[in-house]
Every structure is written in C-alpha cells, then in structure tokens.
Chain A
Amino acid sequence: MSVATTEAPVPATAADKEMLISGCAAIAQALRLADLDVVTAYPIRPYDTVMQAVAKLIANGELDAEYIVASSEHDQFEIVKHASAVGARVFCGSSGVGWMYAMEAIAVTPALRLPMLALVGNRALDDPGAFGCEHNDALCVRDLGWMLTWVDHAQEALDTALIAYRVAEDPRIFLPCAIGADGAFLTHSEALVKVPSKEKVDRFLPKYNRRDKQLHPDNPITVAPQVNEDWVMEIRKQNDEAMRRARGVIQEAYADFHRIFGRQGGNPFVEEYMTDDADVILFGQGTLSMPVKVGVRKLREQGHKVGFVRLKWFRPFPTPEIQDVLRRAKAVGVIDRDYSFGSPNYGAVLYNEVRSALYDLEERPRVISFICGLGGREVTLDSVTEMSEILLKTAQTGRVEQPTYWIGVRG
C-alpha cells in the first residue's frame, strides 16, 4: 500500500497541543483525529470513560460521527461489524465480562476481515464483582485472529490507536485490532499528552477503503455464506497469512509514525529497559512497567544486573524479538496480570507463550512464571525486589526450583 508520507516538512500550524487527559480521553482524541465514522457504546467500567469522552467530543462539535448506544455489548460489536463492512471507520470497546458477552460477534470478526478497532479497558472477570485490572478479558481473543496490543501510558494509547487503524485497515491485513489498557492505572489517570494536529494525522493515516470487499449496491457481493469442511480450512489459512503479514505492516507503520510525529521510534514490538548486560530479565506488559522500572533502577544501584522487557504487541507475537532479547539472559521472569488455571506448570498465559517462543533456541534462559497484580492489586516495589531475587538465585544455580510463584497474595 502506498501512503503519502514523503512530501514537504510539516507546516508550523501543525504543532502538537498538550492536554491533561486520561488514557481513555487520549484514545478519544485519536478517534477525533482519525475522523471516526461510527462508534457504539454500552457502559461498563473502566472502558466507559472512552465512551463518555467520545460523546463529549461529538456534543462539542469536535467530532462528526454516528454514536449508537447499543442494547448490550453483543449488539455493540454487531453494529460496528456491519458498519465496517459498508466502509465506515469504526470503534468500540468493552471490559471484563462485557467483552465476554460480545464474544460471538467478536469471534467472527477476523474471518470477515473487518478492521474494527476496540479498546479493552482491562478488568477482572466478575464474579466476584471487581473493577480492577486483569488481562484475561482481552486475552480471550488470543487465538481468534485479532491483533492485540498493550499500552502503558496515555501518550502511547493515543499513538497506538492511530497506528492500529493504519495497520488494521491496510488491505494486506484487514484484521480487527484490540488495544489493552489497564483499568484505573491507564484508563482513569490524567497525564499530559501531546495531541498532534489533524494535518500530521492525515499524512499518516489514509482513508479506509474496503475496495472490492465493500458491501454496496454498486458492488454486489455476499459476505459470510454458509460453508462446509471443503472451505473452512482454507479460510483459516487466509487469516493465518494475514496475521503473518501484519508483522511487516506494523514495522512500516511505526517507521512512518516516527518520521511524521517524532515519537514511537524504538522497536515496535518490545521495549527494552537496561537489558544490555542483564543477567536476569523481568518481562511483562501494560502499566506494571512503571513500578518494575523503578525497581530495576534500585537493584542496579545495588549492583544487580537486572533488566526489563515490556511486550507491546501480543498478537502477532514477536517471536524473533523475544528470542533475540531474552537469549542473552540467564533467567527470565514473566509477570502475568492474568491466570491460566491448569496450564503447563500452573503458570499464566504470557509465561507459556514466552517459554514456548524460547524453546527452539540452543541455549535458552530459565523461565519463571510470576502471577502478580490480579484484580488490580498494585505491583509494588517490594514485589519487584522479591521477583528479582528469585531470578538472581535461579541465574546463579541454573536450576528452576519452583516454576510458578504467586506474588503479593496473602498467605
């Protein structure tokens, strides 16, 4: 796909504006800049902050979009699915069990190749009634053909929403994309965010064009017919290929984004923090990066070679980067804000993904699963120290004494 990004320098009027806004409001700003067409809403915390922010933009005349309050999360995702099929740029989202309630619509979207953008304001799955952050909600789509990314601060939320549209709507991809945003810590905290100008965004993000796949009277097509075993496997293979291509398209999008906005210049898939000479590496995604970085700096001051890697894209899973970054370490601790009961080693989701990605290496680090911060419990500095100490000991002995630890649980 050709994107017009190489012309004259950005005009002076295109200066960024700085605003004190929450992570959800930052995403709403991205939607405004992306000229969103259709948005559906159904309230559930913590996602609902974004639906309030979008409603406000529309009410203030800053955004001209169709805002539909659905009768349930299921309808919410159905409506945007259809709107996307006729060529509308769409947005929707949910949290926790709301996201699960929409699962039928969510599950079929990738096969239809609809580039829907969704926000999952990460929330524990009730019951017990709980609002706090856990990643199991968004992770439910990990096998279904959704692209899945996690952000760790409000600026990244805004930037990633723009990047996600560009990748999802790329005709080589046409896959839905969900942004995972930690409930409370990201969705509800107000930070100073650079909101770029419309000119810059227009140079980065082309219009959504479904081409021959667009449902339109002038383009008579049928979408999603009934098929049997003669067809399904080939359809799945097409999805697999699209997901494989996403990797390169994501790289292109980040390179362009960096050129135009001057941000997001690093590796699109992982953020490395003090890993160069690290003996042990903590690994995780989302906002737990903040306390972990503080903890890593403290441990470094004490002379421990500890580093941190933050995963930014969970799907497509960046296997080459993971191998490249982690092969140098002696021990890796994967911090999961999720659980996977009964899975290998009774570990958690990310742990088993990382461990599997490392398996083909000749020399590979020991890997430990840390289940931490469930239900939105804070990942504290003490927890970071505790996990690092377990890793340093593992690195020293070269043996995994215990594969999985619950960190910060009372007991």
Chain B
Amino acid sequence: MTGSVEVVYRGIFQKHLGQRITRGIVLAAWKEGKVGISFGRYGDSPERNGIPAKSFAVVADNEEELQAYLSRYEPSNNDVTVAVDDTLCKGVESWAWYGLQPINKLTRAGGTVLVTSIQTPEELLKDCHRKNAEWNLAVLKGTASFSGLWVYKEDHTDVRVLGAIAKVAPHVVKIESVEAAIRGEWGDELKVGSARKAYERVEIRTVRPEEGNPEKPYEFQLPKWWEMKEALVIPGIPVRQEVRGWDGGYRPGRNPTFKKFATRTMRPVVDFEICTKCTICWLQCPDSCFDVTPTGHYDANMEACCGCGVCEAVCPVKDCITMVNERAFEDNASQFEAYQKDEAAYKAWLREKIQDKVVTSRSHGFRYRGQYQEELAQMAAEGEGPGGS
C-alpha cells in the first residue's frame, strides 16, 4: 500500500520546514520496514520569497509499488495535503505553472488537508475551494512558522505536523514510528513530546462537497505547439488598461493569466483620508500594483500585489499604509471602491483591521526589535512551541 503527502509551503521562508516534514515521513515509514522518497517540486526552485512551493513524501510497502510515484513532478492523489501557512488555503499559484490551484485539488477524495492555523475550520472553509467529493479538514493550532534561506526556526512545527499526520493518516505513518524517527534524526525528547501532543490535539472535521469557497479559481489553457508563436517570442502586456469611468485615472496593463496574489501573506491597507498623494508607493512598488484613481489616490490592486511590504516602508505618512495578515481578508476587492462608497464604513473597517494585534503581527520580518523573542515566549505559553505544556 502506498501513501503520499504533499506539503505546501511558502518559498524560502518555509523551505527547510517543508523538507524536514517530508524527510521525517520517509524516515518514520522506514521504521515500519517501508520504502519511500522525499522530493521537492522541481519547477518551484529556485524558490522566491513567499511564492508557494511544494515538497512531497511517498511511502510504499515495496520498491515496485513505489515506482508509480517515481520520476514525477507532483503526485496527484495525495492522502494528506499539508498547508504550513493557512493563507495558502486561498489557493496556490506557483511560479512554475499558470492558474490558481485550490489547496485541496491534489488531495484524494476522502483525504485530508492539514493546516497549521489559529483560525477555526469554519473560517478556513471560507478560503478553501469546494471539491467534488468529501474530504477532511484538520487544524493543528499554531501560527505559521517562517524562517529564511540560511536560518531555521526551531519551534517544533516540523514534528508537530508529523505527529498530526500520524493521526489523520495512520496508514502512511504511525505515531510510534514518528517518535522513533524523531529520536533517530534529532535525538530530542522534547520534540518527541511535541509530536505526541499534536497527535492528540489535532482537530479533524469532514467537509461535504457543497461546503467551502464557491469561487471558480482562474485557469489557463496551455496552447498547442502550432498555436504558439515561433522563435520563443511572446507578446508584451499592453502598457495601459482602459477602465470605464476612470477619466484621469491610470491602471497599468497586467498579465491576466499570471497573477501573484497567492504569494501574499500580508497585504497593505491604505488610509485614503490621510494620504497626501505623494506618488512614492506607486513609484516604488516592485510589481506596479497601484492603480491611480481619478481622484489621484493610489489603490493597491489585490490581484497583483504579492505582499512585499515595500509600500508600507516607503510611505512618508505615519500609519497611512499598514501591512495586515492576509488571513484577515476574504476577497481581493478594491479598497478605494469601498472608500468611495462609504467613507465612514471604510474608516471603521480600516480601524478594525489595523488595531487587531493578531492580524498585524507580521508573517515574516519584524516591526520592532525584540519581537521574535516575544513571539517565541508567546508560542511557548500557548503550548504551541518548544517547552509548551
């Protein structure tokens, strides 16, 4: 019997985490006398900050069964899909393909999407697209663990996810073998304890086909060889898009089939009332995300924004642009339109987002010195991290 797990993670920030989890699965299965492989999605590499990427583990009783999964980019019928950042539930656009892949797309019918999150399953289901079959949503309480290319944050997320996988898919790995593998690979009893706790605490819920985000994710049909332009020539994107009723405004042309918002873990919210229309955000945004409105405001287009945070850093007006965790939003609607429709309501909405400490905590990078230590202590207190109860 074979079992396969995909781990969907944020490029660079969670590269080591993704690899550790899939390696851990194979090492655990090995303790049961099984064989296995662990590999990353080749097209995702070289990774870029935050762009969704994948790592896989396949385990089988013998080499012959394993063969069906070898020499492939992406197993398509996974027992478990792990999202180690809950904003990935909005969909996955890798830089290696076109279109938005729902997080549960490659999860088999009856399989499980396991998310590390502090949101409830119901909140997550607003993001996860519907699936034409029953599936399970499992939530492992915790904030997304981000680190970097050269550093790794030892907050036990790797082993906690392994413990949770043993719960949702014991035929892939059993908790005892996860524990044995952790002892073998890391020799750390605290980690063994974290895996066991996650195994006991992970919440699982069945999701029916009619539950979830009803939106149809954008797709792209790849052309046939004779439909493509020859000589590796691809047409440019028009410089400007016409927008009706936007006289005096300006919206740059954008690629309709390659967006970037699946990369985003934070988004800017703009206080149009105090904006001085200085143009700096518009000039500095590396992705030309700002639409210039007819009133001369700058509206960050959420289909294009990858959440880098540059605009927040360069805006000269205090608290005019604030990066807010992506999990606080359910759509990509224009902020300026909302502002125009009802300024007071927009102001209230903005205040709510900005004042919520939880959602303004950064997914990566820090707002002030000492925030990392603070977060670690907080995670320990919540029982998520090392040394938790």
Contact = CB atoms under 8 A, between A and B. Distances in A.
Interface of A: 18, 20, 45-46, 127-128, 131-132, 153, 182-185, 188-192, 287-291, 293-294, 297, 376, 378-379, 381, 409-411
A263 to B, nearest CB: 13
A190 B67 contact: no
14 contacts: A20-B23, A20-B38, A45-B46, A131-B42, A132-B42, A184-B39, A185-B70, A190-B23, A191-B35, A191-B37, A192-B26, A289-B71, A410-B225, A411-B225
Interface residues on B, range: 20 to 34
Contacts of A290: 67-68, 70-71
Contact of A409 (B35, B67, B225): B225
Contact of A185 (B35, B71, B222): B71
Given A378-B72, A410-B223, A192 B36 contact: yes
Nearest to A290: B70
A363 to B, nearest CB: 33
B224 interface: yes
Interface in B61-76: 64, 67-68, 70-73
B64 to A, nearest CB: 8
Q: Which of the listed residues B26, B71, B225 has the most CB atoms from chain A within 10 Å of its own CB?
A: B71
A135 to B, nearest CB: 14
Nearest to B67: A290
Contacts of B239: none
Contacts of B23: 20, 190
Contact of B37 (A18, A132, A189, A288): A189
Interface in B169-223: 222-223
B224 A188 contact: no
B40 A20 contact: no
A378 B70 CA distance: 10
Contacts of A153: 70
Contacts of B45: 45, 131, 188
Contacts of B70: 153, 185, 189, 287, 290-291
Contacts, number: 77
B164 to A, nearest CB: 21
A378 B35 contact: no
Contact of A378 (B30, B39, B71, B222): B71
A293 B64 CA distance: 9
A411 B70 CA distance: 26
Contacts of B232: 127-128
Contacts of A190: 23, 26, 37-39
A130 to B, nearest CB: 10
Contacts of A189: 37-39, 70
A184 B73 contact: yes
Contacts of A46: 42
Interface centre among A45, A131, A192, A378 (most CB of B within 10 A): A192
Given A188-B40, A410-B222, 20 more contacts: A18-B30, A20-B26, A20-B38, A183-B42, A185-B71, A188-B42, A188-B45, A190-B38, A192-B35, A290-B67, A291-B67, A291-B71, A293-B67, A294-B67, A294-B68, A376-B42, A378-B73, A381-B68, A411-B224, A411-B225
Nearest to A129: B232
A405 B72 CA distance: 22
B292 interface: no
Nearest to A128: B232
Interface string B32-51: 00011111101101100000
B331 to A, nearest CB: 34
Interface of B: 23, 26-27, 30, 35-40, 42-43, 45-46, 64, 67-68, 70-73, 222-226, 232
A405 B26 CA distance: 38
A234 B26 CA distance: 55
Contacts of B43: 131-132
Nearest to B29: A192
Contacts of B226: 411
3 closest A-B pairs (Cβ-Cβ)? A184-B42, A290-B70, A189-B39
B6 to A, nearest CB: 14
Contacts of A20: 23, 26-27, 30, 38
A24 to B, nearest CB: 12
A288 B67 CA distance: 10
Nearest to B57: A190
A131 B46 CA distance: 10
A162 B73 CA distance: 29
Contacts of B35: 191-192
Nearest to A373: B71
A46 B43 CA distance: 11
Contacts of A287: 70-71
B60 to A, nearest CB: 12
A289 B226 CA distance: 30
A184 B73 CA distance: 8
Contacts of A289: 71
A348 B348 CA distance: 67
A332 B386 CA distance: 59
Residue of A45, A183, A184, A289 with most chain B CB atoms under a 10 A cut-off: A184
Nearest to B223: A410
Nearest to A153: B70
A289 B68 CA distance: 10
Contacts of A293: 67
Contacts of A184: 39, 42, 73
A318 to B, nearest CB: 23
Contacts of A379: 71
Nearest to A46: B42
Nearest to A154: B37
B38 to A, nearest CB: 4
A97 to B, nearest CB: 15
A171 to B, nearest CB: 38
A185 B46 CA distance: 16
A46 B226 CA distance: 30
A9 to B, nearest CB: 27
Contact of A410 (B26, B40, B42, B224): B224
A69 B344 CA distance: 62
A376 B41 CA distance: 12
Contacts of A378: 71-73
Contacts of B224: 410-411
A338 to B, nearest CB: 16
B4 to A, nearest CB: 13
Given A189-B37, A190-B38, A192-B35, A182 B225 contact: no
Nearest to B38: A190
B296 to A, nearest CB: 40
Kindly name the residue among B39, B42, B226, B232 whose own CB sees the greatest number of chain A CB atoms within 10 A: B42
Contacts of B38: 20, 189-190
